[in-house]
Chain A
Amino acid sequence: MEEYSITVVGIGNAYRSDDGIGLYVARQIESLALSGVRVVEGIGDGFALIDAWADSDHTFVIDCASSGAPPGTTYHFDALCESIPSNLFSGLSTHSISVNEVIELARVLNRLPRGLIVYGIEGKSFSAGIDLTPEVRQSANKIIGRIVEDIESLTRHKVTGGDNA
């Protein structure tokens, strides 16, 4: 039977403190070595996101948010059903487009995966360094749990012939 393919994309810069929270989540999920799950990180060019999810049934994107909300605040979007607010995520770099813009472009071009969940975690510190703020890490750990549950649910439905698309 063909395996359900899931991609987890962590976005951010690991050397700018909480900006690396998306990478932290992705690496934790990678360490679980879940079957059918591919982890992608190191995307510097926003447009590359479209290629990152091109071959997968379901994709999770995790990025650090910077909207002024309390640190550790989490956001969950089903990108197939809703747009992501433009003030949440900054550009992947000053030279590239932001996660919400890439998603809108892919939506217009009909290049979204069958499932696309975006998690945001509000960061606190963006200074040079590799340490994560405790409250931000704590929220990330909860999101890891949710993603693992979602993956298990998606995979189980596939095995039992369910359809999550």
Chain B
Amino acid sequence: MKSRTIKVDYLARVEGEGKLYVKIKDNTVADVRFSVFEPPRFFEALLRGRRFTEAPDITARICGICPIAYQMSSSQAMESVCGVTVSGPLRDLRRLIYCGEWIESHALHIYMLHAPDFLGYEDAITMAKDHPDVVTQGLKLKKIGNELMVLLGGREIHSVNPRVGGFYKVPTKEDILRFVEPLQWALEASLETVRFTSTLSFPEFERDYEFVSLRHPDEYPITEGRIVSNKGIDISTDQFLDTFEEIHVPHSTSLQAKVKERDDYLAGPMARYCNNFDRLPEVAQKAAKEAGLSEVCTNPFKSIIVRSVETVFACHEALRIVKAYKAPDKPYVEVLPKAGVGHGCTEAPRGLLYHRYEIDDAGIIKDARIIPPTSQNQKAMEVDLRQFVQKNLDLTDEKLTWQCEQVIRNYDPCISCSCHFLKLDIKRD
């Protein structure tokens, strides 16, 4: 019996701490484990007993890359309990700060974390020696995303300005208009990013995913919509827990998720793109087509192109909002507490982020449930790994290990967020 083990004890270029273990027996993948060993952080427990207005500030601390996603999903959940809808310029500003987060997070992943995989570099620093212009462009793009977050959030990480009902303070038209020029540059740079990523070479690997994302009647989804999939799911956000379930696996401190009575699913850029290609602006659709992408992309390695197309969208959308901006009369809508249960679902850069809260009449949180995108994608990552390794058994351990790490980085996983989660072990018997 021939055995082979491939393992990575500490995955690089991912956010948080996780590891991989793959065991191969007689040329068949016998075991695949994507383990998160980041300690659980008990955010849901510490939310209990706090005021409903504190949820956006507390949950923003879950993630330094996508704090806006946490603030938006929690605010939306609280507003739904209390019967408030945030519309008009305040809604636009929420989309704008979220665009900033998409630009910042996508540029970081595309240029600093993912591109080195395809160009054969250990990290962005070594890549920068040979491709300084590429890295410089990535940093500049990321900075514009960060600056939008500073403008609307008060600072680039863990924004302090968004609140239930809107914002504490809103920018003047003059403040906003300063972003026209940088965003025009960013839009051009994002189009260049699509062209750059489309020239990379990708392993041949396709999978029949169930793509789960939001879908909105008019917009490419960021802040709201129904939850849909390419395999028939079409539900409102309050039906999330009726449709999906979380499962505890012994090898991970992060819960995995699946579609009830079905299987793993994929959230994130590829899912949004597949379910919403028709909602992308023409400039992004055209860029995708020129990059050779069809309206559905099932090669997870090509997620770097999809992420680039989404960056085009985010720059275009931010520019649209900036140009049309009219300051709202008030920076927020008053939200008074009301006993009940509320659900919030928005699209974090790496996928669907679900929040559910129960609050009482005084606005005290009685129960909280948060299901981040990396949790939802964990099972899909393991299935990707199993299928990818099975198809590539002829690779050397070194090459296979490298590409297995890539399989995980395709997801831009945010491991800290998922803990409530990277190391690779490939074992061949």
| Partner-B contacts on A (CB < 8 A) | 42, 44-45, 47-48, 50-51, 93-96, 101, 104-105, 108-110
Instruction: Report whether B64 and A95 are in contact in the complex, using a CB–CB cutoff of 8 Å.
Output: yes
Question: Are A95 and B146 in touch, CB under 8 angstroms?
Answer: no
Taken residue by residue from 123 to 153, chain B's Cβ proximity to chain A (1 for < 8 Å, 0 otherwise) reads as 0110011001001100100110010000000
Given contacts A44-B155, A47-B139, 7 further A-B contacts (CB under 8 A): A44-B156, A45-B156, A95-B15, A104-B125, A108-B129, A109-B135, A110-B132
Contact of A94 among B16, B125, B146 (CB under 8 A): B16
B64 & A105 in contact (Cβ 8 Å cutoff): no
Binding site for A on B (CB under 8 A): 15-16, 63-65, 124-125, 128-129, 132, 135-136, 139, 142-143, 146, 155-158, 414, 416
| A93→B64 CA distance, assembly (Å) | 7
Residues in chain A near residue B142, CB distance under 8 A: 47
- In the complex, A13 Cα to B303 Cα: how many Å? 35
Residues of A with C-beta under 8 A to B414: 95
Distance to closest chain A CB from B408 (angstroms) = 16
Asked whether A94 lies within 8 Å of B64 as measured between CB atoms, the reply is yes
Q: Is the CB of B156 within 8 A of A95?
A: no
Q: Which of A96, A101, A110 contacts B64 (CB 8 A)?
A: A96
Task: Report the tally of A-B residue pairs with Cβ distances under 8 A.
Answer: 47
- Shortest distance from the beta carbon of A52 to any chain B beta carbon, whole Å: 12
Secondary structure at chain B's binding surface: helix, strand, loop or mixed? helix
A82 to chain B, nearest CB (A): 16
A-B contact pairs, 23 of them (CB 8 A): A42-B155, A44-B156, A44-B157, A45-B156, A45-B157, A47-B139, A47-B142, A48-B146, A50-B139, A93-B157, A94-B416, A95-B15, A95-B65, A95-B414, A95-B416, A101-B125, A104-B125, A105-B124, A105-B125, A105-B128, A108-B125, A108-B129, A109-B132
- Enumerate chain B residues within 8 angstroms of A101, measured Cβ to Cβ: 125
- On whether the beta carbons of A108 and B128 are closer than 8 Å, the reply is yes
Give complex CA distance A97, B40 in Å: 22
The docked-state distance in angstroms from the alpha carbon of A154 to that of B132 is 31
Q: How far is the CB of B132 from chain A (nearest CB, A)?
A: 5
Complex contact B136–A109 (CB within 8 A): yes
List, in ascending order, chain A residues with CB within 8 A of B155's CB: 42, 44
Closest residue on chain B to residue A101 by CB atoms? B125
What residues of chain B lie closer than 8 Å to A108, measured between beta carbons?
125, 128-129, 132, 135
B158 touches A109 (CB 8 A): no
Cβ contacts under 8 Å, A51 to chain B: 143
B53 → A minimal CB distance (Å): 21
How far is B414's CA from A25's CA once the two chains are assembled, in angstroms? 33
What B residues does A110 contact at CB under 8 A? 132
Contacts of B135 in A (CB 8 A): 105, 108-109
| B139/A44 in contact, CB under 8 A | no
Bound form: Cα–Cα A93–B158 in Å = 12
A49 to chain B, nearest CB (A): 11
Q: Are A109 and B128 in contact (CB under 8 A)?
A: yes
Contacts of B124 in A (CB 8 A): 105
CA distance A67 to B196 in the complex (A): 39
With A104-B125, A105-B128, A109-B128 already in contact, the answer to whether A44 and B64 are too (CB < 8 A) is: yes
The answer to whether B156 touches A48, judged by C-beta atoms less than 8 angstroms apart, is yes
Kindly provide the distance from the CB of A28 to the nearest chain B CB, expressed in whole angstroms: 23
Q: B40 → chain A, closest Cβ, in Å?
A: 14
Return B320 CB to nearest CB of chain A, in Å.
26
Whether A47 touches B125, Cβ cut-off 8 Å, given contacts A95-B64, A109-B135, is no
A60 nearest CB across to chain B (Å): 22
CA of A95 to CA of B65, assembled, Å: 6
Cα(A94)–Cα(B63), bound, Å: 9
CB distance from B385 to the nearest CB of A (A): 23
Q: Which residue of A lies closest to B136 (CB)?
A: A109
Distance in angstroms from A153 CB to nearest chain B CB is 32
Taken together as a complex, chains A and B put the C-alpha atoms of A45 and B158 apart, in Å, by 11
Docked pose: A44 CA to B160 CA in angstroms: 13
**How far is it, in angstroms, between the C-alpha of A29 and the C-alpha of B416 when the chains are bound?**
35
For A105, what are the chain B residues with a Cβ–Cβ distance below 8 Å?
Answer: 124-125, 128, 135
In the complex, the answer to whether B125 meets A44 with C-beta atoms within 8 Å is no
Residues of B within 8 A of A104 (CB): 125
Cα A105 to Cα B146 in complex, Å, equals 19
Contact of B63 among A45, A47, A95, A109 (CB under 8 A): A95
Contacts of B63 in A (CB 8 A): 95
Contact in complex: B156, A94 (CB < 8 Å): no
